[in-house]
Structure 1
Amino acid sequence: MAEKPVLWLPRRVSDATVARARRDYEVILNEADTPGTADEIILMSASVDAMMPCHSEHFTAEVVSRLDPRLKIVANHSVGVDHCDLPALSAKGIAVTNTPDVLSDATAELAMLLMLGAARHAVRGDRLMRTGEWDSWSPSFMVGTQVTGARLGIVGMGRVGQAFAAKARGFDMEVHYFNRTRLSPDQENGAIYHESIDSLLPLAEFLSLHCPATPETVDLMNAERIAALPDGAVLVNSARGALVNENALLHAIETRKLAAAGLDCFKTEPGGNPNFATHENIFMLPHIGSATSKTRDAMGFRALDNLDAFFAGKTPRDLL
């Protein structure tokens, strides 16, 4: 009987994923569930045939240059692959896959939570209730921004962006979007296409980011672009922290250019930006867009599907 491929799981993925992995592979599981360091990745590459990392494991060009030839595939437990130097891995002959499709709805749900929470003062309201400080009411108390019927701008109309647009239509929002390529009419479903982000921004009472982090999109929302939004706009980012210039965002919050922001990702992760914490109109979550049981199982199974195909001599569905 042929020996099973050896698979390293540097993070504690779902129980269902671990059980299936152990059925078909010799699994080395990091029970401590701590991010794999560069040294650990390099060391483990001499002992395993495959790895299933998350975005917390960084395959930089320097790390990749020191990987052992035994490692044949990096099957990411994530959609984003900005933690991987893809050209370096390709040059090394290491296959790379990701897990698209399966987390779109969960992430779109979280983006909706961020938008609503930011618009309706969820942080301040929760604090008032938990501390017992709610002792008055008036017509001017806790007045937020109404979502229903507002103009929504979406930057990046991929799977998550389309799922978010579908949910926003339930609030009768007027959906505008910027994407590298225009969608087909059936995918647009009435959304209004903009050939440039510059024509989209002045219309976006709410702006939600759903594009990947690339060299071209780092600090996509800088001071100039934030200034182009309508006064009192709400900015939502459930994609990648690299997309937003955090100093520019803080300035816009402090000057009330932005009414609020909803953020699930930050330049520094874990940890976030401590300067945001003093502003109750910044509603924050710790990068949990895909964190539902259903989605975590689906992500793990999609990564294993890619591994199964690779070791069966087939092309993985999500080969990058």
Structure 2
Amino acid sequence: MSKPSIFITRKLPEKVLAPYRDKLEIDMWEKTDEAVPREVLLRKAREADGLVTMLTESIDDTLLNEAANLKIVANMAVGYDNINVESARKHNIEVTNTPDVLTDTTADLAFGLLMTSARRIVEADQYVRNGDWKHWAPMLMAGSDIHHKTLGIVGMGRIGTTLAKRGRGFDMEILYHNRSRNVEAEEQLGAEYVSLEYLLKNADFVVCLAPLTDETYHMFDQAAFKHMKNDAIFINASRGALVNETALYNALVSKEIKGAGLDVFENEPISKDHPLLQLNQVVCLPHIGSSSVETRTKMMELALNNALRVLQGDTAITPV
């Protein structure tokens, strides 16, 4: 009896794949310096029983209509806005994601980005490397305090709640806005549920952790940044398309807000000429929220386990 086949859209380490090779026929995009071309993805989807995908691949109605053998799309991410879930269900194709395993790691990165932006760490590092450090001065590279400030979290799911724990460690007041109340965060962390407008007006740090939906697309626009404090810092560790980047750039240049830390962008990867990269008060990262060796390995294993279980006729571990 032949083994079920999967196609993986990015090169994964052999030590992760080895335990699955006796149960699955594994095909994989081997190039590490470029994404799988659309025409290759379409062809592989027609042939495979399962796909293991990344956020960069569009699993749309066109692909799903042509994938007659496909039984599962295992997305190696918490988000799944790259997948037409409704179309997948119509075709009886299971969709899974990788929640929980990356919660702490992503919260670490988001808070680290907040700290880096507040204390001007990247800018200060470059200052030293450029040979500009000639003397010490009382206000040399002076940034913003983090402790005892107000942290505003937009999107109080698993990652938002975990970020709030880090904020409490710095004696921060926690405000949050979410589609629904997070009673656990309120009771255990003292977080306060407020309107988005109130949060924007009162938070010293506004951290975006909301999912990307039709309702949240470009929710951080010109009006949102105008509500924020002039000395506030904006952090996005969710999805780039939640932010109107032109509005953010204008808010920074006009000093409506003080700074920004960004792990995600609307179109990735960005070029070195991206306008936001020209501003010293902005820290930009290449979408590495969950990028630790330990966590990325867990994400790979969970995606592969989801694929294996479904292709063996069992239920998925983390269905969408």
* Length-normalised TM-score, structure 1: 0.95
Runs of 4+ in 1 over 4 A off after TM superposition: none
Shift of 1:186: 5.8
Structure 1 residues 48 and 185, CA gap change in structure 2 (3 angstroms): closer
Query: Which residue does the alignment assign to 1:310?
Result: 310
Contact 1:152 1:175 in 2 (8 A): yes
- The one-letter code of the counterpart of 2:39 is D
Contact 2:186 2:192 in 1 (8 A): no
Q: Matched residue of 1:307: which SS? A: helix
Query: Which residue does the alignment assign to 1:87?
Result: 86
Q: Matched residue of 1:157: which SS? A: coil
Gap regions ≥5 residues in structure 1 = none
Matches within 5 A, 1:108-187: 108-185=107-184
Q: Matched residue of 1:24: which SS? A: coil
1:274 aligns with 2:277: no
Shift of 1:317: 2.3
- C-alpha separation between the residues in 2 aligned to 1:42 and 1:120? 46
Shift of 1:112: 1.1
Q: Percent identity?
A: 34
- The one-letter code of the counterpart of 1:49 is D
Matches within 5 A, 1:292-303: 292-303=292-303
Shift of 1:14: 3.9
Shift of 1:175: 0.8
Query: Which residue does the alignment assign to 1:264?
Result: 263
Query: Which shows bigger deviation, 156-165 or 28-37?
Result: 28-37
Shift of 1:187: 6.4
Q: Matched residue of 1:283: which SS? A: strand
Shift of 1:258: 1.2
Q: Matched residue of 1:309: which SS? A: helix
Structure 1 residues 288 and 206, CA gap change in structure 2 (3 angstroms): same
Q: Matched residue of 1:52: which SS? A: strand
Deviations along 1:248-303, one digit per CA (max 9) or x if unpaired, are 11111111121110000001101267101111110111001111011011101111
Shift of 1:17: 2.5
Deviations along 1:71-104, one digit per CA (max 9) or x if unpaired, are 1110111111111111122222211111000001
Query: Which residue does the alignment assign to 1:249?
Result: 248
- C-alpha separation between the residues in 1 aligned to 2:101 and 2:167? 19
Q: Matched residue of 1:41: which SS? A: helix
Structure 1 residues 175 and 195, CA gap change in structure 2 (3 angstroms): closer
Query: Which residue does the alignment assign to 1:35?
Result: 35
- The one-letter code of the counterpart of 2:283 is F
Structure 1 residues 171 and 269, CA gap change in structure 2 (3 angstroms): same
- The one-letter code of the counterpart of 2:62 is E
Contact 1:239 1:265 in 2 (8 A): yes
- CA RMSD, Structure 1 to Structure 2 (Å): 1.6
Query: Which shows bigger deviation, 186-195 or 86-95?
Result: 186-195
Shift of 1:188: 4.7
Contact 2:71 2:311 in 1 (8 A): no
* Length-normalised TM-score, structure 2: 0.95
Query: Which shows bigger deviation, 4-13 or 30-39?
Result: 30-39
Contact 1:152 1:207 in 2 (8 A): yes
- C-alpha separation between the residues in 2 aligned to 1:120 and 1:199? 25
Contact 1:89 1:96 in 2 (8 A): yes
Query: What is the aligned residue count?
Result: 318
- The one-letter code of the counterpart of 2:308 is D
- C-alpha separation between the residues in 2 aligned to 1:304 and 1:196? 40
